[in-house]
Amino acid sequence: MENIDIPSTARTPRLSLDVASRVFLLEGESYPEDTKKFYEEPVSHVINFLSRSHDGEVVARFKFKYFNSSSAKVLMDLCTALESSAKAGNQVLVEWHYVSDDENMKELGEEFSEELSAARFTLIEY
Amino acid sequence: MTVSQRLNGTSYLTFRKELEDRGIVFSYSGYLNEVILSGIGNALRTKMTIDQTDAKVSRAVFSTFVEQVQNVIRYSAETTPPVDEDPLHEVLDDDGEPTILPYGLVVIGEYPDGTRFVTCCNMVRSTDTQKLRNQLDSIRGLDRKELGALMRQQLKDGPPEGSKGAGVGFISMAREANGKWEYDIVESAKDDFDLFCFEAHF
């Protein structure tokens, strides 16, 4: 499988997948002009990656400053795929990073974590 | 011979004063696109940083602004003419699709008691207003936690078949505003169109 590394822009996050180290990252702002157009291809690649069997832990690192409601839909799809991957036997860790005073982002992380039971979830303040 | 002058500076001073008297800091009325969203959003964030606005409030105001403007862009019933009515003047976007510009009103300001408001107005078809009322009334009175749960539900399942539930955008704004939001729908001078206004308070 190929790695992905899409640099961030003012309205879209950095999106990367390192296949060898099994780390998936979304970092920055997410309110794309066209959410589907931005996410569709890389996310389907990531979901494909998650559907395979992996020897070591798979880490999904979310580090958002802001995301809009149409991006939230993509995050929900990713959470579903992460949970399925864990249920299928992979070790999956979801890291939700938030800026120290951003209670709302922390709360959103907690809400998404309710979709996860087989996958481990951790909140990280930065 | 006197040259007649149409420009009346005083009228603009009056116009500006009315905005100021209503606490309006940012206002835009006209055709909108995503670039305008980026531009106003950027200036809004900068202004709030300069004003040392509480970080929590700034984030909620910005987030609501984005959702509101994206709603207008997607749902305004008033747009530049569809291409089939005016094929000679079509402008294609990056994907080769004809560009249609929606018309809307975006306002951000502060009431005398310090409450900030983010307001958007756009035309909706009169035949759609009841549905819109039902959608918004279905989330009225819900608190932050309830709105969060409802949002998650809709993100997972989408709105149930034939649902009158509000879209994720409205639920998200209502949540950000901790349930402090209002809407109004008023008859417009334009046949078959009403003006829909949504306002969130911070």
pLDDT in tens, chain B (202 residues): 677 889 999 999 999 999 999 999 999 999 999 999 999 999 999 999 999 999 999 999 999 999 999 999 988 999 987 656 666 677 777 777 778 899 999 999 999 999 999 999 999 999 999 999 999 999 999 999 999 999 999 998 876 665 656 689 999 999 999 999 999 999 998 889 999 999 999 9
pTM for this predicted structure:
0.92
**Is-contact A31 B66, C-beta < 8 A?**
yes
Q: How far is CA A11 from the centre of its chain?
A: 17
Query: A88 CB near a chain B CB, below 8 Å?
Result: no
A100 touches chain B (CB under 8 A): no
> Which residue segment(s) compose the domain that A103 sits in?
4-125
**Contact between B148 and A76 using a beta-carbon 8 Å cutoff:** no
pLDDT in tens, B71-98: 999 889 999 876 566 666 777 777 777 7
Residue B168: partners with Cβ closer than 8 Å, 6 or more residues away: A69, A70, A72, A73, B151, B154, B155
| Nearest chain A Cα distance for residue B138, angstroms | 19
Could you write out the three-class secondary structure of A9-67? CCCCCEEEEECCCCEEEEEEEECCCCHHHHHHHHHHHHHHHHHCCCCCCEEEEEEEEEE
The CATH number given to whatever domain includes residue A120 is 3.30.750
Total count of domains within chain A: 1
Contact B34 A69 (CB under 8 A): no
Amino acid at A16: S
Q: State how far residue B139 is from chain A, nearest Cα, in angstroms.
A: 16
Sheet of strand B24-31, all strands in order from the earlier edge strand to the far edge: B24-31, B103-110, B116-125, B193-201, B181-187
Q: Is the dihedral of CA A121, A101, B148, A50 positive or negative?
A: negative
Interstrand relation of B103-110 and B116-125 (parallel, antiparallel or unpaired): antiparallel
What ipTM goes with this model?
A: 0.93
- Contact call for B38 and A111, based on CB within 8 A: no
* Contact yes or no for B168 and A33 at CB 8 A: no
Tokens 């939001």, residue located = B181
A10 in B contact zone (CB under 8 Å):
yes
Q: A-contacting residues of B 73-102, CB under 8 Å?
A: none
B168, A101: Cβ pair inside 8 Å?
Answer: no
